[in-house]
């Protein structure tokens, strides 16, 4: 076998290994996401806590932070 042919075989083998690894990791992540979305639940107490969070921003506090001296 010539060195050129061996290099082509090695490149092809490396490419195939890379493709199979990519497909495997992609499928693994996809199935884990599907499993997580079907099996994860949020308790009612956590739902109550998250719904009571206020989305208002205190602009006065932000202005005070911006007016501080920086060294």
User: Residue 31 belongs to what domain range?
Assistant: 3-54
**How many domains in the chain?**
1
Q: Which two tokens stand for residue 69?
A: 């001296």
Least confident residue range of 2-6, 47-51, 62-66: 2-6
For the stretch 3-46, pLDDT in tens is: 667 778 889 999 999 999 999 999 999 999 999 888 878 788 87
Predicted confidence at residue 3, as pLDDT, reads 66
Query: Would residue 49 count as lying in a domain?
Result: yes
Show Cβ contacts of residue 42 under 8 Å, excluding neighbours closer than 6 positions.
50
Does residue 67 fall inside a structural domain? no
Domain assignment present for 61: no
Q: What is the pLDDT of residue 15?
A: 95
More confident residue, 50 or 18: 18
């Amino acid at each position: 076998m010539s060195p050129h042919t061996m290099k082509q075989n090695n490149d092809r083998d490396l490419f195939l290994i890379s493709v199979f690894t990519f497909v495997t990791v992609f499928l693994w992540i996809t199935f884990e996401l599907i499993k997580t979305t079907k099996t994860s639940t949020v308790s009612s107490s956590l739902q109550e806590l998250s719904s009571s969070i206020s989305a208002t921003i205190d602009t006065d506090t932000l202005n005070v932070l911006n007016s501080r001296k920086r060294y």
